[in-house]
Structure 1
């Protein structure tokens, strides 16, 4: 009996995988050579070196520096055996192939913990005393600019040290630094008599201006340290307000200047109902997109996650359909986020069932690779506005802006259209339910029939012949016949 159990145990272990072993068994996606999309990145714990390299070799990801680029982490560059040193050496050895993603330091957090910030950094009561409240909620929007310039220099010095060894392509600025969201701090702003007194909405605008003022030194320092970066994104902003209402976001009019392009946090079941309209992630994204587009900001690099909390994970096919919609709307890359440290600590074998964080990263890569073959559509095309205005934009900010999608008669069947010259890229996604044939009317094309799948269906449609007073004759091509491995039909 013991011998049989031992044989079974050995057999089980033989099929156990580490992340890199699992990746080696998967067919990698097929990228277009020299495409114009940006490298992917990730946010979470640091991957081991081999997994990090595999994602960079075959899956479109930048190498990660590992944790925050603090002065302590940068010191490890002097040790040739350290993770940081090995990663930077790899980028330096082949900069065309390998790109580096870095998470900048956030020294204000450490300075606050060590009581190294002046009294002017904090809100006060009428007697001039610090408020008896959590410090992260009681930062003074009027704090002197010198504080933020000092912190920005610390951040930039570490980035400059890295750049002495290799280039930095992706800068993931965590953003949760300095002033906290208005909703958290508003009750304490009212207690400081030195703070601007106004109705709540005006006070929010004032507070947003100071968020911009106190954050801009960090942005300028990053830009100076890495002038040749591919993109610097800041967590998080898109066309705002984004979440429940303005209290939990910032005024986009000011904040858009803090990063190279918008980047929303699009996390499944985090302040949303997932995929089911109307409190769903795509509706929220398009609400923000509509507002950002008014400023000409039509490309994005977003913070993404298909779930990280127990029993709150999206099906991977549905997540891929959502991602196809984002790319159709101008996403050029994204951050694969995951915010719970895996119980298996990611280095250990996970058996025959891959963890969800790994499946999410693979899904993002497969969609990214597919759209690399249509990078002209993304970089030069335009998302068509659709016939309707966006109800959520109207509700939140009172503006009549386009919905940027085309109605199908089913609120959970979503259709987005991106036009480039005389062709359209059309994505049909069954956000809920099974695959479904739908009819949709698109001004440039007339009425067309599409198959909306859970994993999304991407069509290229062009007018074959236009006869006066007649519906156009169309050429309709389904591009992702294998919806879950959409790039597999392409040649490198």
Structure 2
């Protein structure tokens, strides 16, 4: 492991402090320095953490949440100080918004849509009925069941989804009226309705229905995967538009798992397991459903964590490599930003939990790549842990994973509120290499820069695979010699790394930390000016001013 050069460290820290001083020194301390005890609640832990400092007037999206529930007071604290939207899933929180006009960004959720599709037999009499041709049927006209559940037809009419959208739209409209202001963002939990074929031959699965088979023949497409994807976008788009017709304005919309693909191209079977994102864009490359790609990034869940490979496909399988695959593909289709659903892990047997610092590093890398917010997920929904989180009951002196995660997301979000110019006016640079996922798809740039000597060899089924032990991403302001550069030690300890990003800059020496290091680099009159913005890796806005 390389030792840090003291002179270089002094220069970096000095320039960062100088940057902070020009903005005005602000130290974000905990709201109260209370000792955490066995009687401390989740809200106590949140209030004991140093609050981030947000740049006033920033236009990043509000942070969202997707978990099994927090107390009203915890939601309010997160919305007041941590960059989160206020989730008005009930009248209580809508009334909080009403009592504080203009203070909060309101978020509404659409979930459990599968109930409508399971209601083919009227088991949910409280729900409106969908048209008979919503479901896949055999040649005799009988609904086809898979494991006791019906299959939504690719040819299902818009009316079916408009009925569902109207149901949710009316409900959200009532909350909007109570709150006295428009919704800022709608989260759709996805995973319902028409779905990917998985292990089935799509022609056989969907071709069982004569109406679908005829519709495919008349579609002008010769690709079942494109046909399914185009119809999924049509159906979800119809639901969204009808929902919006009930509201005061058009909020940002995030449908979970809409993406170019974190796994796309990793192996030849990928089309069976994801929709084709190009079919979710219209002829002008405008989105039909989600405003931004909405992939999942769950630590060590459908990925190998912050490092590692997929043994059989012999390619890196870490979360950042996956994220950059989605981002690179989306950029190739004219989509610059992303709004991922993320988690650092949750307390379930066999599910690892990330260290807080490396989760912070991943989030800084993700924002550098084009995230303009995120949804915080966590999936423990039973037992004393959930009860403590949901009802703000004593949880002990150890900070719950969910609270740690939400504070880290808030800190990363706040940091990039100060750097938003580099997101809005800058572009993620492609780097010199191709992305390793290339099977049955177009070749994409890797969207990162290799740090010199920062690799290790890992054994796969097909031989040794080289994977990075430090990650460097860079954005450049269009038409200017200004860069935003992030260095992350995804493996090992904090250390200096060397990287070449632009010939003007020569070889940059950067401090790659487990918590990530975010630099502003400028080229002025033939000289390179390099400033570390987040001198405190885990409290990155500590010296920044609103």
Query: What's the counterpart of residue 63 of structure 1?
Result: 86
Q: Which of the residues 350, 363, 370 maps onto 1:330?
A: 370
* CA gap 1:270/1:201 in 2 versus in 1, 3 angstroms: farther
Question: Using the alignment, how far apart are the partners of 1:458 and 1:396 within structure 2?
Answer: 35
Deviation per residue, 1:93-129 (Å, 9 max, x gap): 3343212111025555245233544442222334433
Query: What's the counterpart of residue 172 of structure 2?
Result: 159
Q: Is the 8 A contact 1:241 1:249 kept in 2?
A: no
Cα distance, 1:436 vs structure 2: 2.4
Structure 1 SS opposite 2:475: strand
Q: Is the 8 A contact 1:429 1:452 kept in 2?
A: yes
Deviation per residue, 1:282-328 (Å, 9 max, x gap): 11111111111012211111111111233411111001000001111
Relative contact order (alpha carbons < 8 A, sep ≥ 6): 1 or 2 greater?
2
* CA gap 1:99/1:391 in 2 versus in 1, 3 angstroms: same
Q: Which of the residues 53, 58, 80 maps onto 2:76?
A: 53
Q: Which of the residues 192, 197, 200 maps onto 1:182?
A: 197
Cα distance, 1:406 vs structure 2: 0.5
Structure 1: stretches of 5+ with no match in the other structure: 1-11, 67-83, 467-472
Query: What's the counterpart of residue 544 of structure 2?
Result: 490
Query: What's the counterpart of residue 505 of structure 2?
Result: 445
**Is 2:160 aligned against 1:169?**
no
Deviation per residue, 1:314-370 (Å, 9 max, x gap): 111001000001111111111001122263221321110111111110110111111
**Is 2:103 aligned against 1:97?**
yes
Cα distance, 1:215 vs structure 2: 1.5
Query: What's the counterpart of residue 478 of structure 1?
Result: 532
Structure 2: stretches of 5+ with no match in the other structure: 1-34, 124-128, 281-286, 309-315, 455-467
TM-score (normalised: structure 1): 0.87
Q: Is the 8 A contact 1:263 1:300 kept in 2?
A: yes
Cα distance, 1:220 vs structure 2: 1.1
Q: How many residues matched?
A: 455
Question: Using the alignment, how far apart are the partners of 2:339 and 2:42 within structure 1?
Answer: 25
**Is 2:288 aligned against 1:257?**
yes
* Match runs of 1:132-143 below 5 Å: 132-134=145-147, 136=149, 138-143=151-156
Structure 2 SS opposite 1:359: helix
TM-score (normalised: structure 2): 0.78
Query: What's the counterpart of residue 439 of structure 2?
Result: 395
Structure 2 SS opposite 1:458: strand
Deviation per residue, 1:174-218 (Å, 9 max, x gap): 1222112231664632544443379x9911111111111222111
Q: Which has the higher helix share?
A: 1
Deviation per residue, 1:207-250 (Å, 9 max, x gap): 11111122211121233334645521111122236366122211
Q: Is the 8 A contact 2:117 2:150 kept in 1?
A: no
* Match runs of 1:38-49 below 5 Å: 38-49=61-72
Structure 1 SS opposite 2:52: coil
Q: Is the 8 A contact 1:106 1:155 kept in 2?
A: no
Query: What's the counterpart of residue 212 of structure 1?
Result: 233
Structure 2 SS opposite 1:195: helix
Query: What's the counterpart of residue 69 of structure 1?
Result: none
* CA gap 1:334/1:384 in 2 versus in 1, 3 angstroms: same
Question: Using the alignment, how far apart are the partners of 1:57 and 1:414 within structure 2?
Answer: 33
Question: Using the alignment, how far apart are the partners of 1:209 and 1:359 within structure 2?
Answer: 39
Q: Which of the residues 262, 272, 275 maps onto 2:306?
A: 275
Query: What's the counterpart of residue 341 of structure 2?
Result: 303
